[in-house]
Amino acid sequence: MQGFDAIFIGAGQAGPSLAARMAERGMKVALVERKFLGGTCVNAGCMPTKTLVASARAAHVSRRAAAFGVTIVGEISVDMQVVRRRAHQITMDTRNGLAEWLGTTDGIVIIYGHARFAAPDRIAVNGDTLTAPRIFLNVGARPVIPDLPGIEDIDCLTSTTILDIDTLPRHLAIIGGSYIGLEFAQMYRRFGSQVTVIERGARIASREDEDVSEALREILEAEDISVRTGAKRIAFARHSDGTRISLDGIDIDASHVLVATGRKPNTDDLGLDIAGVNVDGRGYIVVDDKLATNVPGIWALGDCNGRGAFTHTSYNDFEIVAANLLDDEDRKVSSRISAYALYTDPPLGRVGMTERDAAATGRNVLVSTRPMARVGRAKERDETKGFMKVVADADTREILGAAILGIEGDEAIHGIIDAMSAGTRYTDLQWSVPIHPTVSELIPTLLRGLR
């Protein structure tokens, strides 16, 4: 039996940083990872997919070059092998960087293998037993395949396995019209594939307000992406050239099928029952406001705790636990303001409540919208699709939430994120003097339009 001050199971965004902080304090730490350092973000999420998004945008901008007075001789083509190789290299560079950093940090022992609880303070891995008074679970999540007729008979792709293909699909059908599915839809359409998005709900990006969902649909359909919502009966069968999808009486022949209908936590093979750790009905580890489980000495960080599904929330989990355990602070998950982005082009930056959610609270809600066509930078770059939207409380003058669907919306939203985090009232922020020409310069005007 090997004794440690702390054991980390999983090496996503939260675990390694907290392990390094503890090692700096002179603690002996074991970091157990069964596959790759870096978790979903590095290996199958943000880094490779946004690299692909960048390649797709380069192709799109090249095709529009003539509109900017730039002449490109010959047809624009995409070499998918080079595209994939570039994404893979960025992943490998980051993964190797993590290995070098953690491997040379005194006090950290990296163990590759599948860890399971043997007791609340003991972990079995590779035939050995590790023990520690503090155990941190950072095991992430994985794509889930829905139970649909015939789906077990076809070779469907997930957001992880599609990263391995280096040929261009003739027709990519995407099951699921949420964030992951929409990013891949636009990406592969720009690479040159025919793309169909199939969503069982009434609209795509259903978490957003209806006007945002509709604008996203218009953006995608303008690039000849077929969007089919309200799909009630979906069935799959092998076809001579791929897969035949029966959709409410209509047949769609696709060469490839990407399933992007959700994710589930990697908690079903950790022996959590042996440790007595509670999970909810979907398998997420139940944690309190400081990310502790019901078992003293065990915490859950990142996607597996159901308190956020993003790299930045996972990293913030590290910050919260480090502040509380190492810096004698009192930080809580409930203090976190929800923010995220959808990396279509143009991107969607989001923070806080939607208009729908704000209205449901019974507050006296104010709303303002402005089209991106009002933004100088958008006009100068001929990228005027989308709009800005902000929601506020008329009584307290709090900014409750915002959406920026438009050029650089994923960056411009941070002005509102920072204001909300600082508790700045919209009546103060609306008189700031922004730099011209930027996307953010419209934010004060947007706030002055609250009605």
In tens, the pLDDT along 336-370 reads 999 999 999 999 999 999 999 999 999 999 999 99
Render pLDDT for 49-94 as a digit per residue (tens, 0 to 9). 999 999 999 999 999 999 999 999 999 999 999 999 999 999 999 9
Alpha helices in 64-198 (DSSP H): 80-103, 179-191
CA distance linking residue 232 with residue 238, whole number of Å: 20
Q: Where in the chain is the domain with CATH 3.30.390.30?
A: 339-448
Residue 7 has pLDDT above 90, yes or no: yes
- pLDDT tens-digit profile of 116-156? 999 999 999 999 999 999 999 999 999 999 999 999 999 99
pLDDT of residue 266: 97
What one-character DSSP code corresponds to residue 161?
G
Q: At what angle do helices 46-63 and 80-103 cross, to 10 degrees?
A: 150
CATH 3.10.100.10 fits 151-261, yes or no: no
Instruction: Give how far Cα 17 sits from Cα of 31, 250, 319, 443, Å.
Output: 11, 50, 9, 35
Which regions of the chain carry the CATH code 3.50.50.60? 2-142+264-335, 151-261
Q: Are 373 and 412 in contact (CB under 8 A)?
A: no
Residue type for 97, please? G
Domain 339-448, what fold? Enolase-like; domain 1 (3.30.390)
Q: Domain 2-142+264-335, CATH 3.20.10.10 — does that match?
A: no
